Amino acid sequence: MDGICAPADWKVGVDIGGTFMDFCALDTTSGRIASLKVLTTPDDPGAELLTGLDLLTEREGLDPACVTRFVHGTTVGINTILQRKGAKLALVTNEGFEDVIELARLAMPDMYSLFCHRAEPLVPRDRIFGVPARLRADGSEPLAPTPEAVREAVVQARGVGVEGIVVSFLHSWRNGAQETAVKAMIEAEAPDLFVFTSSEVWPVIREYERSSTTILNGYVHPRVAGYLEALENRLAGRGVPTKALLTKSNGGLMSAFEGRRDCVSMLLSGTASGVIGAAWLARQAGASQVLTLDIGGTSADFALIVDGEVQYGADERIGDFPLYIPSVSVSSIAIGGGSIASVDGHGVLRVGPESAGSTPGPACYGRGGTEPTVTDAMAVCGWLGQAEMAYGQLQIDRDLARAAVASLAEPMGRSVEETAEAILNIAVSEMFVEVEKLGSRAGVDLRDFTLMPFGGGGPMMGAFLARELGMSRVLAPRRPGVVSALGGLVADMRGDFLQTVFAGLDDSAVPQLRAAFDALRREGQAWLVAQGHDGAAQIRLSADMRYAGQSYEIETPLEPDWLSDPARMAAAFHGTHRQIYDFEDQNGAIEIVNLRLSAIGLTPKPDMAQESAVEAAPAVPARQVRVHLNGTRDIPLFERANLVPGAAFHGPAVVCQEDTTLAVPDGAAAHVDRHLNIHLEFAE
């Protein structure tokens, strides 16, 4: 088209999971959304991107030269950590503090297990080198590192064959100059090694948290940087003119160029993007209290949307390791469509945590898998295999699924169908336990929430989980299978910045707080400019606060003008503490540990098509299908493409569509709204 993109400009969101790469493409001129799923290529990550772009061009008329925004969410970082295939790193720290990673917080993963042990650190003790250097807590420097000491540490690091070095010194949250000087010395001595400092990655107080986060950043850096370079080359090779943006753990966006260094910010990009997309869809549908359920091939992820707002945290976990940067708060459990069912030595049926992944995948995919999985159980019970799946990428072989489940059924003395139903019940019960813990931690009654299932497996199991939780409402969006890809299209640019102040909350702290805020605001504004954002923007301010004597703090939202009014800040903290713990101490002294600022560059949102009026009418099923649900029965199957606004039906039923399958259990009344969402309601 010679660079002339009339009449269509396209925005493309892409999210890569364990089994599929999902595409959501928006024609900004017509408002039409095209979606697609392509099987992943674990041996050549990113190759499926070209396949997807070619299919969108062929099927939907997308012109790569007319793509004005390309947003990508990837699991390459988190998979690097989970598979422990990252860079071989060394840690340079203060002499006498070489054990900081081994000591950690002395907390065991499972305090009730006699056989529990902590995971091996990503940087073992023999690759941690101390140099004589010291900062005081006020940032002054009684002992500066010498080039000779740093050179000796580099020689030792080279001797064990490291690819990069992480520098983390005590009190660098107060003054990063010492770390910066050591970094310069290392780069002069070993220009072939990459170097990260804790003060540049995330300058938070507490040396273990700061060191651990910086190590995660360095550990994934080579694979992430290589992946992103290949991504941009592939896009350029297909004639896509725009630079790639990445979804971040905080639900925002950043440039792929920045992502090559700020790798730790994108470790949870896929899960965060899904929650952002779900929150946007929930607001469109008028739902403000939502529990999201994202089931992929290896895990189920849960998040809360409260009063229409995504919830954030700063202590998420990446496999065995804590991550201390702002992230969309997501709880996960190793139950997904590919989770393998087995019988233990006591004859007890179990599901997960092992997964068949995308290769070979569930047996019913016909790609070489033989072990029974949750997806195979769904196929045996008849919920899957009734229609084409994954935009023609998959054909479900129910005979292979039966053969896999039969390997468990025979020794258990049950029928294949009974065993498959038991697998599904166990998977739901495992998720039930995790969601109950999430609700308890948040202090909410989940019966007041609407469950929104998405991902490839969420709609298959979501309604069954909602019924077990006593939730009366389920909201299934129009394209559940590509919500994470859609999340990239509706996300804003977002950069998070932190400054540790560590001050008592009184009038004497006001100048320090105002100065910290001004510095953070300048940093945030400069970040937005560096990202190329020139539109509307906003800032969000919060502080990590605690009562004097408490060991840990809670994040409290603030308004900038409150920084000059300690009483307003104290009232905000008391209220937040009461909301979480049902307790406040109006006379207690308060400390501010960190001041946080989010710089948000607002992006245009899609204008979703909707019907102005909805006329209720019974939905007409395409046909009857046989399923096993407390016995074998025939139930109606509806095709999602034929369900118009106002259409209504009752469960049990199956709704098939190109990106997933919605299973509707007994007792559910369903109707379609003007956005083509399906609402399920259970009688209370």
Among the residue ranges 3-12, 283-292, 475-484, the one predicted with the least confidence is 3-12
Distance CA 463, CA 474 (A): 7
Mean pLDDT of 420-428: 95
Integer CA distances (angstroms), 649 to 46, 481, 584, 628, 681, in order: 41, 22, 49, 20, 11
pLDDT class for 542, splitting at 50, 70, 90? very high
Domain formed by 85-220, architecture: 3-Layer(aba) Sandwich (3.40)
Is residue 482 within 8 Å of 659, Cβ to Cβ?
yes
Mean pLDDT of 546-568: 94
User: Within 10 A of 9 (CB to CB), how many other CB atoms are there?
Assistant: 15
What are the two backbone dihedrals, phi and then psi, of residue 583, each rounded to the nearest 5 degrees? Answer: -155, 145
Is residue 80 within 8 Å of 219, Cβ to Cβ?
yes
Among 334, 408, 338, CA closest to 374 = 338
pTM: 0.88
- Which residues are CB-contacts of 210 (< 8 A; sequence separation ≥ 6)? 168, 172, 173, 198, 201, 202, 203, 204, 324
- pLDDT beyond 80 at 116: no
Among the residue ranges 121-135, 277-291, 323-337, the one predicted with the least confidence is 323-337
CATH topology of domain 492-601: Dna Ligase; domain 1 (3.30.1490)
- pLDDT beyond 90 at 292: yes
In tens, the pLDDT along 125-153 reads 999 999 999 999 888 999 999 999 999 99
pLDDT class for 12, splitting at 50, 70, 90? very high
- pLDDT beyond 70 at 465: yes
Is residue 332 within 8 Å of 267, Cβ to Cβ?
no
CATH superfamily of 10-80+225-266: ATPase, nucleotide binding domain (3.30.420.40)
In tens, the pLDDT along 227-264 reads 899 999 999 999 999 999 999 999 999 999 999 999 99
| One-letter-per-residue 3-state SS of 389-427 | EHHHCECCCHHHHHHHHHHHHHHHCCCHHHHHHHHHHHH
- pLDDT beyond 80 at 608: no
Distance CA 92, CA 168 (A): 6
pLDDT of residue 8: 65
Average pLDDT for the chain: 90
pLDDT of residue 643: 93
3-class DSSP assignment, residue 227: helix
What are the extents of the domains in the chain? 10-80+225-266, 85-220, 492-601, 617-682
pLDDT of residue 321: 82
Percent of the chain at pLDDT exceeding 90: 65
Among 223, 233, 212, CA closest to 74 = 223
- Of 22-36, 112-126, 146-160, 350-364, which one has max mean pLDDT? 146-160
- pLDDT beyond 90 at 611: no
User: Within 10 A of 193 (CB to CB), how many other CB atoms are there?
Assistant: 18
Among 195, 221, 186, CA closest to 85 = 221
- Which residues are CB-contacts of 286 (< 8 A; sequence separation ≥ 6)? none
Is residue 603 within 8 Å of 13, Cβ to Cβ?
no
pLDDT class for 1, splitting at 50, 70, 90? very low
pLDDT of residue 610: 65
**Alpha helices (runs of H) in 352-493, residue ranges in sequence order:** 374-380, 398-412, 416-442, 458-469, 483-490
Residue appearing with tokens 């004597």:
549
Is residue 635 within 8 Å of 612, Cβ to Cβ?
no
- pLDDT beyond 90 at 449: yes
- pLDDT beyond 60 at 469: yes
Residue appearing with tokens 């997806």:
375
What are the two backbone dihedrals, phi and then psi, of residue 271, each rounded to the nearest 5 degrees? Answer: -65, -40
pLDDT class for 2, splitting at 50, 70, 90? very low
Is residue 329 within 8 Å of 426, Cβ to Cβ?
no
Residue appearing with tokens 């895990």:
299
- pLDDT beyond 80 at 176: yes
Among the residue ranges 284-288, 556-560, 605-609, the one predicted with the least confidence is 605-609
- pLDDT beyond 50 at 319: yes
Among the residue ranges 81-85, 408-412, 422-426, 557-561, the one predicted with the least confidence is 81-85
Among 450, 438, 491, CA closest to 282 = 450
- pLDDT beyond 80 at 41: no
Residue appearing with tokens 């049902």:
582
pLDDT of residue 392: 74
- pLDDT beyond 90 at 624: yes
pLDDT of residue 537: 94
pLDDT class for 684, splitting at 50, 70, 90? low
Among the residue ranges 381-395, 542-556, 581-595, 600-614, the one predicted with the least confidence is 600-614
Mean pLDDT of 193-203: 95
pLDDT of residue 612: 66
* β-pair partners for 15: 22, 73
* β-pair partners for 668: 682
- pLDDT beyond 90 at 421: yes
Integer CA distances (angstroms), 624 to 333, 386, 636, in order: 34, 10, 4
Residue 680, token pair as written in the block: 């399920």
Mean pLDDT of 48-75: 90
- pLDDT beyond 60 at 168: yes
